[in-house]
Amino acid sequence: MTKSGETLPLAPKIDVSYISKIVIVVTFLALFLWSWIKIDMSIFEFFSDFQNVINLFRRMYPPDFAEISTVISAMVETLWIALLGTLGAVLLSYPLALLAASNTSPNRALRAFSRGAITLSRAVPEIILAAIFVVAFGTGPFPGVLALALHSVGMVGRLFADALENADEAPREALMAVGSTKRQTIRSSLIPQALPSMIATALFRFEINLRGSAVLGLVGAGGIGTIISESLETIQYRPALAAVTVLFVVILLTELASNAIRQSLIGTAANIGLQSQHTRLWVRLKQRRDTQVLNDSLARRSVVQPWTSERLFRLGAMSLVTLLILVAITTVDINWFQMLGNIDRVQIVLKQMVPPSFAGERSMLISGLIESIAISIVATTLGVVVALPIGVLMARNLNVRKWFSTLMRIIVLAVRGIPELIIAVIFVSAMGLGPVSGTLAMSIAVMVFGGKLFADSLEEVSPAPREALVSVGASRSQEFVSAVIPQFVPSFIAHLFYMFDVFFRSSTILGIVGGGGIGFLLISSIRVYEFQLTLTIIISVFAIVLVIEWLGLMMKRLYR
């Protein structure tokens, strides 16, 4: 009852926003049902198909390491492709970011051009770029390096520009006040502030590129993907598992090392030990040493930054990365002078793409696009259904047993260590060609990807509403439903459409390994030199991605 004696309504207010949400939910359920029927999914076949995958893994075990030297050689090539591709992306992204950032760009026209170039570079998956470059340069690692470098600009360039725009303007204004030029202020104030974030972005992109480079061998661009694909195609399951095992271990170790460097760069590594009540002995010794070093530096009034453990770690890490880059450049199987001299071949291929044309395949193109949309809807929905409870179990602020959250994060990290296209190759080998195998394989990728996104969002919810409910005697389930879920819903909607965007792109390349969708027509058009059809497919995919992004923005506004 209110003060005036009126009863507060218990039911939600029925307005345009409420009706819109109901319509959206009903529409989504209808789309899911249509997609399920479109790709011929079945509840009974769903479990039998997974049983086929389990049976395949049984035939793959134990792994056969008889050709381990060949596998390691291919894995090293994959590592070099990822490293050099990331280096190329950094070199291309740095000038683009300077032109794209509002506080460093000379004018609006150059800023718009740079932003457009950055956005366009991520429109085509790296494996499709690699297939095009294989036509231009032949098989080998160079097309893979070039494809990763160009595709990565879409992420690296954008985040570099954001880091420059987020820099504090006070140091720059101080330098301008004493007569520094614009170039001097950028070099002396903005770039030093943005540099840690830029390095962290490059390391994160290297992790992504390592997964991407692992499958470039499927189109002849070098790396370990060739061995895995050929082993499965020739029913050599145990050597295939050996290659997947090596790939998984390298990706996992790389992620752990990269994460440690990123934490050090953003200043969190030094605080990890302080956040634990049971700090390890070596952490306490390191903190004691750093304290002594800082005190000595202050006593001497030194103007040189002291050599703390964090600084030594960063120097060692950067030295190692530099050494690896030099080794990669000198040992990878690429004739740099010959390949760079033939770069005009790309221009020849690009000219053959214009103007875009259906090449008599209009019906196949439309059918393939519709199938890709259906695959992404079903795979994303199935993956999200499993990812939600996984995200809750991973969220450290929602679990009493912190060790269990850590265990779940390790398991998710382990599954993420296998590239989704490799998972698709395994599912296709177990279940046969078609969209069902591609859908189930992609749902695994959605599950682990979404689980991490959801866990991170759940850990960011405000504790104040939860504490208020607990103080009046609410149970843990009531607290979760009434305080956590309402805060989580906007992030969930944003993540859901982001995953539709990401995994629709992924669904367009499943056909390369027989997983259904537009990918088969796309890779076929490249292999038979129907480049006008290739461009038509790329434009069509890009248009659908723009529609998904627009729907995501509309949904975010609706659920604010």
Closest to 440 measured CA to CA, from 27, 31, 52: 52
Question: How distant, in Å, are the alpha carbons of 181, 188, 387, 429 from that of 174?
Answer: 12, 11, 49, 63
Residue that is written with structure tokens 């995200």 in the block: 391
Radius of gyration of the chain (CA): 26
Q: How far is CA 341 from the centre of its chain?
A: 32
How many residues are listed for the chain in this entry? 560
Question: How distant, in Å, are the alpha carbons of 214, 245, 417, 419 from that of 68?
Answer: 16, 11, 19, 20
Q: Are 510 and 469 in contact (CB under 8 A)?
A: no
Question: How distant, in Å, are the alpha carbons of 227, 229, 505 from that of 234?
Answer: 11, 9, 29
- Strand locations in 224-271, DSSP E? none
| H or E element that contains 473 | none
Per-residue pLDDT of the chain (560 residues; tens, 9 = 90+): 444 455 545 555 666 666 777 787 888 889 889 998 888 877 776 666 667 777 777 777 788 888 888 888 888 888 899 889 999 999 998 888 888 887 777 788 888 888 888 877 877 788 888 888 888 888 888 888 999 998 888 888 888 888 887 777 777 677 777 776 767 777 777 777 777 778 878 887 888 888 888 778 777 777 787 787 777 777 777 887 888 888 888 887 887 777 777 666 655 433 433 344 444 555 555 666 666 656 666 666 554 566 666 667 777 777 888 888 898 888 887 888 888 777 888 888 888 888 888 877 888 889 989 999 999 899 999 999 999 888 888 887 777 677 788 788 778 877 776 777 778 877 887 777 788 888 888 888 888 888 888 887 887 777 787 778 878 877 778 778 888 888 888 778 877 877 887 788 888 888 877 888 888 888 888 888 888 888 898 888 888 888 887 777 777 666 66
Whole-number pLDDT of residue 84: 92
> Is the N-terminal amide bond of 62 cis, ω within 30° of 0?
yes
Whole-number pLDDT of residue 269: 39
Closest to 509 measured CA to CA, from 436, 382, 384, 424: 424
Q: Which amino acid is at 498?
A: Y
Residues 98, 342, 126, 225: what is their CA dihedral angle, to the nearest 10 degrees? -140
| H or E element that contains 42 | none
> Is the N-terminal amide bond of 435 cis, ω within 30° of 0?
no
| Domains parsed from the chain with CATH numbers | 14-61+361-560 (1.10.3720.10), 62-291+303-353 (1.10.3720.10)
| H or E element that contains 36 | helix 16-38
Dihedral sign, Cα of residue 475, residue 476, residue 477, residue 482: positive
DSSP 40: T
Q: Are 479 and 466 in contact (CB under 8 A)?
A: yes
A 10 A CB-CB count for 371 gives 25
Helix, strand, or coil (residue 26): helix
First-last CA distance in the chain: 28
DSSP of 81-130: HHHHHHHHHHHHHHHHHHHHSTTT-S-HHHHHHHHHHHHHHTSS-HHHHH
Q: Are 416 and 480 in contact (CB under 8 A)?
A: no
Q: Which amino acid is at 469?
A: L
Quote the CA–CA distance of 389 and 143 in Å, as a whole number. 40
Residue that is written with structure tokens 């700090």 in the block: 279
Dihedral sign, Cα of residue 281, residue 285, residue 286, residue 290: positive
Helix, strand, or coil (residue 10): coil
Closest to 154 measured CA to CA, from 129, 132, 135: 129
Phi and psi at 122, nearest 5°, equal: -95, 5
CA atoms within 13 A on the CB side of 535: 13
Q: Who contacts 393 (Cβ-Cβ below 8 Å, separation ≥6)? A: 399, 404, 405, 408
* Encoded tokens for 351: 């000219």
Whole-number pLDDT of residue 287: 62
Quote the CA–CA distance of 160 and 97 in Å, as a whole number. 6
DSSP 419: -
Helix axis angle, 237-265 relative to 309-331, nearest 10°?
140
Q: pTM above the 0.85 mark?
A: no
Q: Who contacts 346 (Cβ-Cβ below 8 Å, separation ≥6)? A: 133, 136
Q: Are 470 and 551 in contact (CB under 8 A)?
A: no
Q: Who contacts 150 (Cβ-Cβ below 8 Å, separation ≥6)? A: 88, 89, 92, 121, 129
Quote the CA–CA distance of 159 and 167 in Å, as a whole number. 12
Burial of 194 (0-12, 13-18, 19+ CB in 10 A): buried
DSSP 273: G
Helix, strand, or coil (residue 515): coil
